[in-house]
Amino acid sequence: MPSLRPKPALFNPIFRLTTSGLLRRTGAGGAVRAMDAAQVFDRESGASDEPDQRARLKIAIVGFGNFGQYLARTFAAQGHAVIGHSRSDHSAAARSLGAAFFRDPHDLCEQHPDVVVLCTSILSTEAVLRSLPLQRLRRSTLFVDVLSVKEFPRNLLLQLLPPEFDILCTHPMFGPESGKHGWSGLPFVYDNVRIGDSEDRANRCRRFLDIFAREGCRMVEMSCTEHDENAAEIQFLTHTVGRLLAKLDLKPTPINTKGYETLLELVENTCSDSFDLYNGLFMYNNNSTELLERLELAFNSLRKELFGRLHVNLRKQLFQSPDGGSSPGAEEN
């Protein structure tokens, strides 16, 4: 009778399963090759595909809403493995992007991603981070945040993550609307808060940043503190002016000027974001309160200047005689 024992080749130690589930074999020279990998460039040798395989990251996106899916589309297009997680069911959207989706955070962490990207709202970041079973992740996992403020997530990640985890704070300063025609020339701010000394961990961080560099982003390395100082004026002021104008209920007119149309676009762009985002820009950036005070002082100063000139002109009209001279008694006043 034929032997029921499994064929030795399938259990030979030179074979192993990769993180993507493909069976790979280590040859005599130590090279690792995918048994069924497609060769992208026929003119190249099989070994030439190895750097691309090694550069492939498994990226978990925590918060698979609009912005999370927006990033996932580019991650997947560049060949990275994407897995999503949210409280809401976005499994259909994930499938359309070629990504996996897990509603249970334990299932997500058991996939052992190389990178965990936090795409939550500012207000919910702490609660979401505390809900993750960190003990199920590899101890050297890279955590990345993409929030619009930076000192808050930096401090939170340093406080809650084990010291073995790497931390990269980033801010893609664009979104689905402003980046709908591509990311070329758009600023991407980052701060290597805590990256391990090993070459593998430094290389993983570079590979993640390279996703944005390859899309043409203007890569800006900046401390979290400096980012928030600049962002208070760049972002919070813009959102404040836009929402202030929205309170005026501005409408298009038949004689719109270019400047007025710009104001209408500002209202549309800022108010299309949730109030939670605007509130987060205020609550979690120490510079926002000072900026509001400066804005109020600037408005009062401008109003005082306008009314001061109005007072001078009224006095001239009240006390000027018909022949152009001053009325009797005007000097005493």
Q: Where are the beta strands (DSSP E) in the chain?
A: 15-17, 23-26, 32-34, 58-62, 81-85, 100-101, 115-118, 142-145, 166-172, 187-194, 218-221
Point out the least confidently predicted range of 52-61, 267-276, 279-288, 313-322: 313-322
317-331 pLDDT per residue, tens = 877 766 666 655 555
Q: What pLDDT is stored for residue 313 in this prediction?
A: 83
Q: What pLDDT is stored for residue 27 in this prediction?
A: 41
Q: What pLDDT is stored for residue 52 in this prediction?
A: 57
**pLDDT-above-70 percentage for the chain:** 80
Which H or E run includes 36?
A: none
Q: What pLDDT is stored for residue 31 in this prediction?
A: 42
Average pLDDT of every residue of the chain: 85
173-208 pLDDT per residue, tens = 999 988 999 999 999 999 999 999 999 999 999 999
Which H or E run includes 320?
A: none
Span 85-97, mean pLDDT?
96
Span 63-84, mean pLDDT?
98
3-state secondary structure string across 207-255: HHHHHHHHCCCEEEECCHHHHHHHHHHHHHHHHHHHHHHHHCCCCCCCC
Q: What pLDDT is stored for residue 321 in this prediction?
A: 65
Asked whether the predicted pLDDT for residue 243 surpasses 50, the reply is yes
Span 58-80, mean pLDDT?
98
11-33 pLDDT per residue, tens = 344 334 333 333 333 444 444 33
Q: In angstroms, rounded to a whole number, what is the distance separating the alpha carbons of residues 41 and 169? A: 36
Q: What pLDDT is stored for residue 207 in this prediction?
A: 98
Span 153-163, mean pLDDT?
98
